[in-house]
Amino acid sequence: MHALLDHRLVFVTGKGGVGKTTVASAFALFASLRGKRVLICEVDAKGDVADFYEAPATGFNEKEILPGLFAMTMDTEASLREYLKLQLRIPVVGRIGPLAKAFDFVATAAPGVREILTVGKLCYEVRERNYDLVVVDAPASGHIIGQLAAPQAINNLVKVGLIRSQTDWMLEILSDPSQTGLVAVCTPEEMPVNETIELAVRVREETTVEFSAVVVNRVLPELFGRQEEEVFDALTTVGPLAQLNGLVGGDTGPVLDAARLAVTMRRTRSTHLDHLRQSIDEAIPMLYLPYLFTRSHGLRTTRQVAASLGEELGY
Amino acid sequence: MATARTAASGRSDQGRGGNPPGERAQAPAGRRGTIDGLLATKEIVVACGPGGVGKTTTAAAAAVLAAVRHGSKVLVLTVDPAKRLADALGLDGIGNAEHRVPDEAFRAAGLKPRGQLWAAMLDTRESWDALIRRQAPDEQTRDEILANPLYQNISGRFVQSHDYIAMERLYEIHSESDYDLIVVDTPPTRNALDFLDAPERMADFFSSRLLRWLIVPYRSRLVNVATKPFYQVADRILGTEFLADISEFFVLFQSMYDGFVERSESVGRLLSDRRTTFIVISTLEAVPLREAEFFAEQLNARKLHLGAIVLNKVLPDYLRDSDGAAVAESMRERADDLADQMAPNLAALDPVLGDSDQIARVLTEVAGSFLNFQVVALREMEERSMLSVTPDVLATVPFFDTDIYDLAGLVRLGEQIWD
């Protein structure tokens, strides 16, 4: 399990709304607290990552937002400019305008070009050893496959040219399970679970990237053991309920209803979790993060999640 | 909102059927300002919003209820339903085709629909192929495009192609079939707005000057001074052969250019038509809600009709009860004392229940759980009160403790939104 932290490039994905960015931010924070030099890169460019660290908005140029933790937002045009400058030694400073337009067009026309500039930039940071670990707040599970498969797709489509020669070393990094891994985040609900199971299959069949772990987010606490649940059931029957109300001097109905709701929610969710565990290769670890009953999101929550994640990773 | 409507109705002169030009479509008296009213008067309801908020289920529930309650022919066009939901709608293995949900299925759920419910799934690939078949000028072009490796890549992987084709399919169905109401679920996008821009972007794409740059040398092998630097860079990055592949692809596509642009414009018009309304769906979690809010603002800015905001999975009201909090705190503090006093009575029901330590643990857990959920419930309410957009309809759907995956469940959910 500890192996996840020894990777150099970790993609974090998941269905929308499951807490993908929370987990990516927390994982990056945890790694940096363990003394690693970490880059977290947001690919979706919603600006959420900065929120999770309560830091100012990030851009393409990485910025140290906490000790040892750098953040950046992917921008394919900026990535192209950097690529042209570093790889092709084409001086484009000042002429990026028309070129960007041309690029935009070619990127739309030739699928994979945009994706490869994203993946290329990430792999570049790994190859240059600028960081110990690059964490990617990757596109949602619906889009991640296209991104991870891009180098291979380009390899198949483009027979010659510089892009072609560039894909080889990227594929090498992406395909090396000791360097690169993918983490799928889900919640114990039907759709996220199904999407995770589907994703595991597609990652295996359509990409060369290792499926490293599933993070199950927002797991509700188990209120009772079986015997305790019988006590709870008895408490809600007419006689004991009346006694309890009398002793407390108020209506305990809402409080007991809330517990009933919590128990039912947990039960429905554990069916989905069982389904998930049975459908995912046993060798793939599942990490569980508790549901947080907090007022709001921010650095405090990110720290809490980082601590839980650390525990689950065995630290 | 008034502005959005006026602007939209101004454009509806070309509309077929429906209300005469200039007259605003309105819900019947007494139904105004409800989702019921929207479903009874609009022809297209687009369900949109961030991922993971129950968009697909909500769209399905609205369609099922419209079919049950109104005597209309309703189609629900879904993108990626959960398997059990797909089964409930009879969509399993159906693919792109529209098909009717049989009355037996309703009867089995104890329902007697007044109208008809049809369902279809959106298969991106199949829809693209159908579009090419329709738009291609001749059989040879059609076959060449369908066989082109770049086309296969575009229709399968090109991210925005999902957004475009969803709207395109909607247009197709709306203009060629006789549904009274089409409820459409939108694909999960990186950005909730992508699908709104998709038709325009597609038109831009095909009318791009750069497209001509790419096609010219392929046709005439004549490279002019202006485009030369572009080719030099493109050649080095992509390789000549690949560039030629791209060119070939676009030469083929060029033959469909007029059709495509016209079509994209029609799709755009349909979205801003007053017969179309948008329902933004969210939960009261901060991140999705902000996204939904942004989306609603954008709808207004684009003069598209924001019909309603539906807030899903909202925790029950009793969790915010302040008396409840006092009771829970008291239960937690006095757990041992309460347990001692209750133990004999519980033991009388069953001796195994009379362990007062165990009772105290249960009381502590129960009280703690209430207080925990209250934090979340209060946060949700705070989020709701801070909502910056005020749609005509703001519906709140309580949290269902079980998954919804059958017609009866969809009706139950629909009733929550409906009334």
Q: What is the pLDDT of residues B87-122, one digit of tens each?
A: 777 777 666 788 899 888 899 889 899 999 999 888
Note whether B84 contacts A254, CB cutoff 8 Å: no
Is the pLDDT assigned to residue B276 strictly greater than 90? Answer: yes
Note whether A143 contacts B159, CB cutoff 8 Å: yes
> Which amino acid is present at A276?
L
Class of domain B2-9+27-134+164-196+271-315+399-418: alpha beta
Contacts with A162 from chain B: Cβ below 8 Å = 236-237, 239
Percent of chain B with pLDDT over 70: 74
pTM of the complete model: 0.83
Contacts with B160 from chain A: Cβ below 8 Å = 108
- Compute the nearest-CA separation of B143 from chain A (Å): 19
Contacts with B353 from chain A: Cβ below 8 Å = 230-231, 234
pLDDT band at B9 (very low <50, low <70, confident <90, very high): very low
Spell out the domain ranges in chain B. Answer: 2-9+27-134+164-196+271-315+399-418, 318-383
Average pLDDT over residues A198-208: 92
Comparing A116-125, A291-300, B397-406, the range with the smallest average pLDDT is B397-406
Over residues A277-310, the pLDDT tens digits come to 999 999 999 999 999 998 777 899 999 999 999 9
Average pLDDT over residues B250-267: 77
Q: Which helix (H) or strand (E) holds A165?
A: helix A162-174
Is the pLDDT assigned to residue B401 strictly greater than 80? Answer: no
Q: What is the dihedral of CA B277, B282, B286, B287, to 10 degrees?
A: -80
The distance in angstroms from the start CA to the end CA of chain A is 10
Interface test with A, best of B186, B231, B327 (most A CBs within 10 A): B327
Is the pLDDT assigned to residue B180 strictly greater than 90? Answer: yes
Comparing A6-15, B25-34, B156-165, the range with the smallest average pLDDT is B25-34
Contacts with A109 from chain B: Cβ below 8 Å = 150, 214, 246, 249-250
The winner for highest mean pLDDT among A218-227, B131-140, B240-249, B284-293 is A218-227
Name the residue in chain B with its Cα closest to that of A150: B157
Q: What is the pLDDT of residue B55?
A: 87
Contacts with A237 from chain B: Cβ below 8 Å = 349
User: Hey, is the C-beta of A265 within 8 angstroms of any chain B C-beta?
Assistant: yes
The residues, any chain, with a CB within 8 Å of residue A209's CB and separated by 6 or more, are: A11, A148, A174, A175, A180, A181, A182, A203
Please give the C-alpha separations between residue B266 and each of B15, B48, B269, B271, in angstroms, as whole numbers.
Answer: 11, 20, 5, 9
User: Hey, is the C-beta of A256 within 8 angstroms of any chain B C-beta?
Assistant: yes
Q: Which helix (H) or strand (E) holds A121?
A: helix A113-127
Q: What is the pLDDT of residue B413?
A: 86
Interface test with A, best of B287, B317, B357, B374 (most A CBs within 10 A): B287
Note whether B358 contacts A140, CB cutoff 8 Å: no
The dihedrals phi and psi of B29, each to the nearest 5 degrees, come to -55, 140
Greatest Cα pair distance, chain B, in angstroms, is 99
Contact A266, B396 (CB under 8 A): no
The residues, any chain, with a CB within 8 Å of residue A68's CB and separated by 6 or more, are: A32, A35, A36, A37, A38
Name the residue in chain A with its Cα closest to that of B54: A191
Question: How many other β-carbons are positioned within 10 Å of the β-carbon of residue B36?
Answer: 23
Q: Which helix (H) or strand (E) holds A38?
A: strand A38-42
DSSP state of A206: H
Q: Which residue has the higher pLDDT, B197 or A202?
A: A202
Is the pLDDT assigned to residue B27 strictly greater than 50? Answer: no
> Which amino acid is present at A19?
G
Radius of gyration of chain B (CA): 27
Q: What is the pLDDT of residue A154?
A: 76
Q: What is the pLDDT of residue B25?
A: 39
Question: What integer best gives the mean pLDDT of chain A?
Answer: 87
Closest CB from A98, A111, A190 relative to B157: A111
| Chain A residues 97-136 with CB within 8 Å of chain B | 98-99, 101-102, 105-106, 108-113
Interface test with A, best of B150, B366, B370, B371 (most A CBs within 10 A): B366
Q: Which residue has the higher pLDDT, A210 or B399?
A: A210
User: Hey, is the C-beta of A171 within 8 angstroms of any chain B C-beta?
Assistant: no
| Chain A residues 24-83 with CB within 8 Å of chain B | 44, 46, 48
Please give the C-alpha separations between residue B411 and each of A38, A77, B215, B403, in angstroms, as whole numbers.
Answer: 49, 48, 54, 13
pLDDT band at B17 (very low <50, low <70, confident <90, very high): very low
Q: What is the pLDDT of residue B29?
A: 42
Closest CB from B208, B324, B353 relative to A254: B324
Q: Considering only CA atoms, which of B395, B401, B297 is closest in space to residue B61? A: B395
Closest CB from A21, A99, A232 relative to B233: A99
The winner for highest mean pLDDT among B116-120, B406-410, B413-417 is B116-120
Question: How many other β-carbons are positioned within 10 Å of the β-carbon of residue B327?
Answer: 24
Domains of chain A (ranges, CATH numbers): 3-222+269-312 (3.40.50.300)
Q: What is the pLDDT of residue B1?
A: 34
Is the pLDDT assigned to residue B187 strictly greater than 90? Answer: no
pLDDT band at B389 (very low <50, low <70, confident <90, very high): confident
Note whether A254 contacts B327, CB cutoff 8 Å: yes
Note whether A255 contacts B367, CB cutoff 8 Å: yes
Closest CB from B52, B236, B405 relative to A17: B52
The distance in angstroms from the start CA to the end CA of chain B is 22
Q: What is the pLDDT of residue B217?
A: 53
The residues, any chain, with a CB within 8 Å of residue A311's CB and separated by 6 or more, are: none
User: HEC string of chain B?
Assistant: CHHHHHHHHHHHHHCCCCCCCCCCCCCCCCCCCCHHHHHHHCCEEEEECCCCCCHHHHHHHHHHHHHHHCCCEEEEEECCCCHHHHHHCCCCCCCCCCEECCHHHHHHCCCCCCCEEEEEECCHHHHHHHHHHHHCCCHHHHHHHHHCHHHHHHHHHCHHHHHHHHHHHHHHHHHHCCCCEEEEECCCCCCCCHHHHHHHHHHHHHHCHHHHHHHHHHHHCCCCCCCHHHHHHHHHHHCHHHHHHHHHHHHHHHCCHHHHHHHHHHHHHHHHCCCEEEEEEECCCHHHHHHHHHHHHHHHHCCCCEEEEEEEEECCHHHHCHHHHHHHHHHHHCHHHHHHHHHHHHHHHCHHHCCHHHHHHHHHHHHHHHHHHHHHHHHHHHHHHCCCCCCCEEEEEECCCCCCCCHHHHHHHHHHHHC
State the ipTM, two decimals.
0.88
Contact A236, B379 (CB under 8 A): no
The dihedrals phi and psi of B44, each to the nearest 5 degrees, come to -130, 125
The CA distance from A208 to A176, in Å, is: 8
Note whether A16 contacts B208, CB cutoff 8 Å: no
The dihedrals phi and psi of B394, each to the nearest 5 degrees, come to -125, 105
Contact A216, A280 (CB under 8 A): no
| Chain A residues 214-253 with CB within 8 Å of chain B | 221, 223-224, 227-228, 230-232, 234-235, 237, 239-240, 243-244, 247-253
Over residues B35-58, the pLDDT tens digits come to 888 999 999 999 998 877 888 889
Q: Which residue has the higher pLDDT, B111 or B152?
A: B111
Please give the C-alpha separations between residue A289 and each of A27, A286, B77, B293, in angstroms, as whole numbers.
Answer: 12, 10, 35, 28
